[in-house]
Amino acid sequence: CSYLILKRGLPDDQVDYREMSQVSTRTLQIVSDERGAYGLRYNDHARYRKHCANKVHRLRRSLKMTHGKGREFKKLPVVPPENLKDGHFQLYLFESERAYSFAQELYEQFTKSDDAKTRNIAMGRFRRAVKWSGQLVSESQTLHDIQPPRISSTSLAEAVVYHLAIRGRLLRLQDEFQPGLEALVAARAVLDALSKAASSSRDHAIYVQFSDEIAPEIRHCAHELGLARAYDIDGIVSTLGSKVASALTKDYEKLLQGIKSEGAEKQGGDKAKQLQEIIWEGQPVPVRSPELVDVLLRVQQASEGLPTTGQAIKPTQTRGLITKFDGVLLALSEAEDVAKKLADVQKVHYTPVYACFTCARDAHFISSFITYQLLSRRTQRDLLLTEALLTTPTPGKQGEASQAVDHRIALAVVKLLDTILQSLNQMRSLSVVDESADLTMAIEGRLAFFLSKTYEPHNKYSEAVALTQRANLHLREAHTNFADTAESTPETAFYPLILDSVKTLEQEVQNTETDLKKHWFAYNGGKTVGNQHQKPKFFDIALNYIELPMEKLQEKAGIAPDVHTTKTSPAVEKRVLTERKAEPEPEEPAPAASQQSQGMLGSLLGGWWGRK
């Protein structure tokens, strides 16, 4: 700072700019971050304007550029180029953003109320935003013309794009469509050059995001001017881009050369900032949001070291792989939240004036794609846990040939397979997934197979056999609907399913069903090993209802019947009971007839007359 104070007031030819600090303000990066963090993406203009006002106040205090507390306005002196710092450029930027946000809010009110006064105020705020952004470009151009330049060509190009975009919007709203189209096309041409030379995936996403915001406005201006191919935005930019950009941008060709040279120097630098291309069904998946790039880079970093499809996994590697899968699932959960929020913004809160059909479609697609990746990684983790549980030996004494089966493993496997089935059902409901009947049926068959093993320790053999039969039905259906999946696609690589695995599982289910039936018979019918002549229990029940023809059974069996000597038993004396004759009982005499009525008076007065 003392060096800058001593150099103040010296002529330009006596100032050594090589000792000045570089200005590293990235206009589009700051605007993208601030708009996304403080509500402008959700059309919360009041919140964003308040944030910009607070930011301007802090910058003015730190730069000592306040207007004072007096009533009279005192214009600040011009800051010489050698004293310009990042704070000055941020001050111009946030002043422009403050006016631009207020202008948008007022113009939305005008579209609802059709008040001319509100429109005039909105246009005034737009002109103020253009003024501050123009000052930002002017100061950036001054520092870029210095030898050596104190600002990079990329930073200057971003400031130019920001100024041209706001200017083009103002001209379009004023129904000046020809100059508005030229400004917007020039901004789009510079953005295309920046996106081609971007050194990181995040920078590329920022440039694509601003290109998507400008595209509908170019189409509107072209339509109002009556162009034949107004819908072909790329064609309009390729036709008019270099011509109008050279007219509106100082040293346009020199600026393009600087952008290309800086991009070539940074190519192949930090690979951690390069997002690998995402492919779905042979087509690349576009990522148009810097927030999504950040979370997907974390997913990519967490996915390093995971086994590929078909790679053998040692039992000692299981614990470490499960930990890695947990990290991937955590990163994918964050990515899913960000993608859903962006999809909701495109669906509900996005301004219709700047709406982009391609952006909305890609936002919903990337949301479904990330959800699919989350479910597939969860399925891989659950399958790894299942395999680890089934291959883990049961602890026992040393030297024992056979060990008892821990039936708790079957219960844990059933829970894991139930989670897998839920994940597959969620996959089938996604818009990016076609229904896969063979994969789901195989999982349901495996679920029923392991569920049957949980009933065996509780001697519920009927339930276990019923579940194995259900597993056979699911596997038979999977066998019927099975498609040729020898060449697995990246979309289904998380669980490669081949016909041999289905046949092996089907044979294992059949063997298990046979063993369950044997155990069921041994449990209800007696011991399988023992006295061969021992009569089963259910024969005792049968003798209560039928008489067995033992002689015929012995003849058919080839066993001679035993000859028993008959013994004469003494006759039993039968006692004859004498018959008893019934004696007639004396009959009681019939009651005497009721006395005749005593005269006419008794019959008239009722039965109570003459009672004693």
| Same-domain pairing of 30 and 97 | yes
Q: Which pLDDT value is given to residue 399?
A: 46
Residue-wise pLDDT for 224-266, tens only, equals 999 888 888 989 999 998 999 999 999 899 999 999 998 888 7
End position of a domain, from candidates 252, 267, 282: 267
Do 255 and 171 lie in a common domain?
Answer: yes
Is pLDDT at 579 greater than 70 in this prediction?
A: no
pLDDT over threshold 50, residue 4 = no
The string of pLDDT tens digits covering residues 268-285 is 667 777 888 888 767 788
Residue 586 lies in a domain: no
Q: What is the longest distance spanned by two Cα atoms in the chain?
A: 168
Q: Are 95 and 132 in contact (CB under 8 A)?
A: yes
Q: What is the pLDDT of residue 345?
A: 77
Going from the C-alpha of 241 to that of each of 204, 231, 586, the distances in angstroms are 20, 16, 142
- Residue-wise pLDDT for 445-503, tens only, equals 666 666 666 666 666 778 888 888 888 887 777 766 655 444 455 555 555 556 777 78
pLDDT greater at residue 70 or residue 419: 419
Quick check: is 324 in a domain?
Answer: yes
Q: Give the whole-angstrom CA distance, residue 51 versus residue 65.
A: 19
260 and 328 assigned to the same domain: no
Give kind and range of the element (H or E) at residue 302.
Answer: helix 290-302
Q: Give residue 529's pLDDT.
A: 56
DSSP 175: T
With cut-offs at 50, 70 and 90, classify the pLDDT of residue 43.
confident
Domain membership of residue 539 (yes or no) is: no
H/E stretch holding 450 reads: helix 437-455
pLDDT at 474: 78
pLDDT score for 420: 82
Average pLDDT, the chain: 78
Residues 304-319 have pLDDT tens digits of: 877 765 555 665 567 7
Give the range with max mean pLDDT: 368-382, 447-461, 515-529: 368-382
Give the 3-state DSSP-derived string for 148-168, with helices as H, strands as E and coil as C.
CCCECHHHHHHHHHHHHHHHH
3-class state of residue 342 by DSSP: helix
Clarify whether residues 252 and 369 are in a common domain. no
Q: Which amino acid is at 487?
A: E
| pLDDT score, position 287 | 85
What distance in Å separates the CA atoms of residue 467 and residue 463, rounded to the nearest whole number? Answer: 6
**Looking at the domain assignment, is residue 437 inside a domain?**
yes
Q: Three-state DSSP class for 578?
A: coil
Contact 309, 493 (CB under 8 A): yes
Coil, strand or helix at 125: helix
Q: Per mean pLDDT, which range of 251-265, 328-342, 422-436 is the poorest?
A: 422-436
Domain-located, residue 429: yes
Report the amino acid identity of residue 113. S
The answer to whether the CB of 187 falls within 8 A of the CB of 172 is no
- Tokens representing 464 are 């276990």
Domain limits for position 110? 2-7+21-66+80-267
* Residue at 163 is within a domain: yes
Question: Identity (one letter) of the amino acid at 506?
Answer: E
With vertex at residue 215, the alpha carbon angle to CA 211 and CA 219, rounded to the nearest 5 degrees, is 165
The verdict on 263 and 322 lying in the same domain is no
Whether residue 193 is found in the same domain as residue 325: no
Verify that 376 and 516 share a domain, yes or no: yes
Residue 538 located in a structural domain: no
Phi, psi values for residue 279, rounded to 5°: -115, 135
Whether the link from the prior residue into 549 is cis, omega within 30° of 0, is no
Residue 564 lies in a domain: no
The one-letter code for the residue type at 428 is R
Burial class (CB in 10 A: 0-12, 13-18, 19+), 8: exposed
The region that residue 425 occupies, defined by phi over 0 for left and psi between -120 and 50 for alpha, beta otherwise, is alpha
Question: What is the sign of the dihedral through the CA atoms of 116, 117, 123 and 127?
Answer: positive
One domain for residues 421 and 339: yes
pLDDT of residue 170: 95
User: Do residues 47 and 109 make contact, with C-beta atoms less than 8 angstroms apart?
Assistant: no
**DSSP letters of 31-67?**
HHHHHHHTTGGGT-HHHHHHHHHHHHHHHHHHHT---
CATH classification at residue 236: 1.10.3450.40
Same domain, 139 and 201: yes
- Residue 511 has a pLDDT of 87
Number of domains making up the chain: 2
Average pLDDT rounded to a whole number, residues 421-435 = 73
Q: Which of these three, 525, 540, 556, is where a domain ends?
A: 525
pTM assigned to the model: 0.71
Residues 343 and 439 in one domain: yes
Domain boundary at 226, 250, 267, which? 267
Same domain, 255 and 324: no
Residues 220 and 85 in one domain: yes
